Chain A
């Protein structure tokens, strides 16, 4: 592989990993707080759709991004109410929300754009950081990316600091590991979990917007294609640590990038196998390649006061 191609590969791996990184970080926060949020797939799809419609209607992708965040909020609230207040089965509600989001976005898309339109939608602009962007060969291929990528990375760094150094991090951890102790110390478990899910919704919205107005500048029906589930697998693979989750997302991103890269190298691997590769890796990952799993102790269990 020539250096130029390698640079392109790194750049596209990063680009393809971004939706997973964003959604995966959101999911991690939600799971740390004790809510297994299966609905990030649906939230991402809703976000991708809302961002596309918003950008198309206003002609301004930034307004599209804001509309996207506002549109995902009710979905996140719905998941919160169901899994915290109504103490419903988190997996079942997540699947239900995903089916609803797929149906609703497809329906609305057909209504607004007509069946199978490929209309270009104004997308977010690219940005190249100073110095890094000037590195020969790698500068442009790797670092010239949609600004949302850098904004997202900044949010992830912020989350890393919050999780490690602040009370919020400890409270989140307690809500997922020892909700009763947290309750006794006077913090509302329910409130922490609500915020966790809503944060996951915010991150999924960004991830969805990145897919539609960041990456390909259009919306297609069901365009998330299981990215939300990959993000959940990344959290498991990363053993519920932020660093591990990020590495897993980058790995899945690279596996996805291979499907565009290998054919240009003249390596003849069936396309279907390459498309399948991230899911296969994710399965191996959650299937114990990462070792025994140590999920937050109260993950998936609704909390109630006795």
Chain B
């Protein structure tokens, strides 16, 4: 009997790639710890889980909101994976999202795009968001090439700067804050006009899936193909494995660093634009809070696979939505989700040792 069980486990684990098995195991372990913590907090586990499921799958609205959230994580995560191919770690997702949000709001509100035909009303703000993210990512690239600055520290610092820029933008009436009519005017922008909002796929606000979904789907496919089936993908990987050998083979290290960090930034900016034009509509302080790290963790969890990013982004999208509902209904702080994420990252990083990476 035990032989049979062992055999089944062996066959199953043979079918799964070890990296997938490790990722799944890490998530399961972290989820178990999460349930344990809910128990320790003295909240009824069944109540918490009921609230969690209600917040993720309970209503069409909850499902669409979770998917919209996953889109942001997926874009940031794909950016992370692309940069990671060149052995770079982009931890600046949060700042890139914030910059995208600022640019999208500025163009949507003050770019006179409302009357433009053929969807330009929302496409131009989206393009501005992407460009802003690209610029933000490229700064880290330039610093890496020109000064050898570790991109982890530069993207982190750029994130802090972007978050305070966002705060500045919504605090200052000269920038994006809505006109101050009284002292009670909230520090946020005006609501963007209807034509600049992203069209909903169903046209129904009770199921607010927007066109970010097909956009993200196309980007996912393109990224997967480029990384695995093109010369560029190979060059990126070559630079990641050994920059010196790659440059002997005629691949420019600087070029690869710039392209990968700029692309990661552009995807972060686009994600910020989608968030603002697709669901937020008003620029607020802290709107990007936590999204960058969630995207980063989705990228890490995927262990280099674009398809894996989509899977983990969906996981986190639903995890976040469920977590928020758990806080509102069952009184479990959303910080629990961060504990789970931190555990996943640490477990995965530690598990690499047992995966034959004993060089």
Using a CB–CB cutoff of 8 Å, the interface residues on chain A facing chain B are: 38, 78, 81-82, 86-89, 91-93, 95-104, 106-107, 110-111, 226, 229, 232-233, 236, 270-273, 275-276, 279-280, 282-283, 286-288, 292-293, 304
Contacts and interface: CB of A to CB of B under 8 A. Distances in A.
A86 B300 CA distance: 17
22 contacts: A82-B346, A92-B300, A93-B349, A102-B335, A103-B339, A104-B335, A104-B339, A106-B335, A107-B37, A107-B335, A107-B336, A233-B153, A272-B164, A272-B171, A272-B172, A273-B168, A276-B161, A276-B164, A276-B168, A288-B147, A293-B149, A304-B358
Contacts, number: 147
B281 interface: no
B303 to A, nearest CB: 11
A287 B37 contact: no
A283 B335 contact: no
Contacts of A236: 149-150, 153
Contacts of B167: 272, 275
Contacts of A100: 338-339, 341-343, 345-346
B76 to A, nearest CB: 14
Contact of A232 (B147, B153, B165, B336): B153
Given A82-B349, A95-B91, A283 B147 contact: no
A20 to B, nearest CB: 14
A233 B89 contact: no
A118 B341 CA distance: 28
B148 A95 contact: no
A273 B172 CA distance: 11
Contacts of B300: 92
Nearest to A105: B335
B297 interface: yes
Contacts of B150: 236, 286
Contact of A97 (B147, B152, B346): B346
Interface string B135-174: 0000000010011111011101110110011011001100
A276 B150 CA distance: 20
A110 B349 contact: no
A88 B352 contact: yes
Contacts of B164: 272-273, 275-276, 279
Contacts of A226: 156, 160
B165 A38 contact: no
B335 A93 contact: no
B346 A103 contact: no
B152 A91 contact: yes
Given A101-B342, A103-B342, A107-B336, A96 B160 contact: no
Contacts of B148: 292-293
B41 interface: yes
A103 B161 contact: no
B165 A276 contact: yes
Nearest to B152: A91
B250 interface: no
Nearest to A279: B160
A236 B143 CA distance: 13
Contacts of B153: 229, 232-233, 236, 286
Nearest to A89: B349
Contacts of B344: 96
B143 A78 contact: no
B341 to A, nearest CB: 5
Nearest to B89: A91
Contacts of B338: 99-100, 102-104, 106
- Sorted nearest first, the 6 A-B pairs with minimum C-beta distance are A100-B342, A103-B338, A96-B345, A288-B147, A272-B168, A106-B335
Interface string B313-350: 00000000000000000000101111111111110111
B353 interface: yes
Given A102-B342, A276-B168, 14 more contacts: A38-B152, A78-B346, A86-B349, A95-B91, A95-B345, A99-B345, A100-B339, A103-B341, A104-B339, A104-B342, A271-B171, A283-B157, A287-B154, A288-B146
